[in-house]
Structures are given as structure tokens and as C-alpha cells.
Amino acid sequence: MPNDESQNARLSFLEKHMNDVMAELAEMRKEYATKAELAEMRKEYATKADLAEIRKEYATKADLAAVKADIARLEARLDSFYAEFVAMRVEYGQRLAAIEAQLPHLATKAEMRKLALITTTANIAAILPLYMLLLRQLF
């Protein structure tokens, strides 16, 4: 029997030692799983941060495209207003010439008005492109 008790003691010691090793192995597996999860979380966070940066850059590009579209729209409006203004001034000059032709005795006053109109129109026509150039440089 002493042999059996000795074997039981050895088996008990080995079983306890094996349980300790298994517990240590389970702890190592848990730690490894935690490290792997942490690495996965870091990778996912980096992906989310990259995605946020891409979204931010895309928003900036979209804003820039919207601003460029607004500038183009405003330039088109300015061009149409300028064309309308020039057409109105030409029509006004034509009406003035028609009146002038009908009233020969007021030709002197009409000529003075026409000269004033031509001068004003020339000044405006000279200044307006500079104004448009200034607007384009601002935007």
C-alpha cells in the first residue's frame, strides 16, 4: 500500500501541477485574445479615422465645387445684366436719335444729350469690365 499512497501523492501533485499549467495556459490564451482584440480595435479605429478624414476631404471638395458653381452662376448673371444694360443703353440712344430726327429745331439740345449719353455709356462700358475683373479676382 505504501506504493499506492506514494503514487496517489505523485498523481495528486502532478494533477495539481497540470491544473496550474492549464490555468496559466488559459490565462495566456485570454491575454492573447485580448491583445488580438485590441489590435483589431486599433485597426478598426484607424479605419474609422481614415474614413472620417476622407469624408471631411470630400465635404471640402463638395463645398469647393458648390462655391465654384455659385461663382459661375453669379458671373453668368453679371454677364446677362451687363448685356441687358448695354442693350437698354443702345435702345435709349436709338430712341433719342429718333426724337432728334423728328425735332430739328431742338437738334442742339438733343445733340448735347446724345453727347452726354454717349460719354456716360462709354464711361460705364469702360468701368464695368474692370468691375467684373475685380469680382472674378475676389472669388
Q: Which helix (H) or strand (E) holds 72?
A: helix 2-102
For residue 81, what pLDDT is reported? Answer: 83
Q: Could you list the pLDDT tens digit for every one of the 139 residues in the chain?
A: 456 777 777 778 878 878 888 888 888 877 777 777 777 777 777 777 777 777 777 777 777 787 788 888 888 888 888 888 888 888 877 887 777 666 655 556 666 666 666 667 766 766 677 667 767 777 6
For residue 2, what pLDDT is reported? Answer: 54
Distance separating alpha carbons of residues 94 and 123, to the nearest angstrom: 18
| Whether pTM exceeds 0.85 | no
For residue 129, what pLDDT is reported? Answer: 72
Distance separating alpha carbons of residues 90 and 124, to the nearest angstrom: 13
For residue 88, what pLDDT is reported? Answer: 84
Distances (CA, A) of 52 to 46, 49, 55: 10, 5, 5
Q: Closest Cα partner for 31 from 23, 46, 47, 17?
A: 23
Give the position of cell 495556459.
25
B/e letters for 17-50, b = 16+ CB within 10 Å, e = fewer, are eeeeeeeeeeeeeeeeeeeeeeeeeeeeeeeeee
For residue 111, what pLDDT is reported? Answer: 64
Cell of 85: 444694360
